[in-house]
Amino acid sequence: MDFTKIDELRRKLQALRPLTQTEIQRLREEFVIEDTYNSNAIEGSSLTLRETALILKEGITIGEKPLKEHLEAIGHRDAFAYMAGLADTNAALTERVIKEVHSLVLMHDPLHKGVYRSIPVTIAGAVHAPPPPYLVPEQIAQLLADYPAMQQRRHIIEAIAEFHLRFEGIHPFIDGNGRTGRLLLNLELIKAGFLPVNIKFADRRKYYECFDHYCANGHTAQTLAALIADYETQELERYIAMLTA
């Protein structure tokens, strides 16, 4: 896969004038609302984009919606803020970071937040079965140990895609794996000088097919890398257009 265009866009964005803190805050707030809506919707939340915005910006409770969904929206927002802070300091991706992000994502579930699952799980419709719980710590440790070499061998977007696919395949937590994994994906994109991407609820079928393709085609991350690259290209072009208007 050719990443020439996306690398050129990244360099072009980095060469432009920096955004002001107010501009960054406004754009990030808009992104977080949309990302929270889409990431939670992929996992089954019934909140609309408008309802998500009301919860996060105005603190309004949507009467007919479960409290759990309100807390999931708040937890995702807080986890994104934590992730963005880590990215700003170029923090290493560690087991502690994974568990802390998950603790914020699953703030509504004190018993399971930041704790690896203790029971077997299945992923509905998936061609891959996650490992038994006693192998989870070992496989997460191996994934983290493999990640630096993945970055050296491949373009960073391919390495991030492979990390995400393997992380979701391990499915280390009882709940919140998808939301945690997508936040970690954005952590690594920002650290690499790219923009965070918002995997759309409307594209969830395409997103899920990336996992099937990975398992059925010799564990190649190319399909997910292409999806991430498409989103990234759109974000880079949007930011560049704003800065050169």
CB atoms closer than 10 angstroms to residue 73: 25
Which member of 70, 108, 164, 171 is catalytic?
A: 171
Task: Yes or no: say if 74 and 55 are a contact pair by the CB < 8 Å rule.
Answer: yes
Written as six digits, the tokens of 126 are 């998936």
Task: Yes or no: say if 152 and 9 are a contact pair by the CB < 8 Å rule.
Answer: no
Distance CA 161, CA 58 (A): 35
Distance CA 225, CA 143 (A): 18
Q: How many helices (H) and strands (E) does the chain have?
A: 10, 0
> Would residue 70 show up in a list of annotated catalytic residues for this protein?
no
Give the position of tokens 């998936």.
126
Task: Yes or no: say if 178 and 43 are a contact pair by the CB < 8 Å rule.
Answer: yes
- Could you list the active site residues? 171
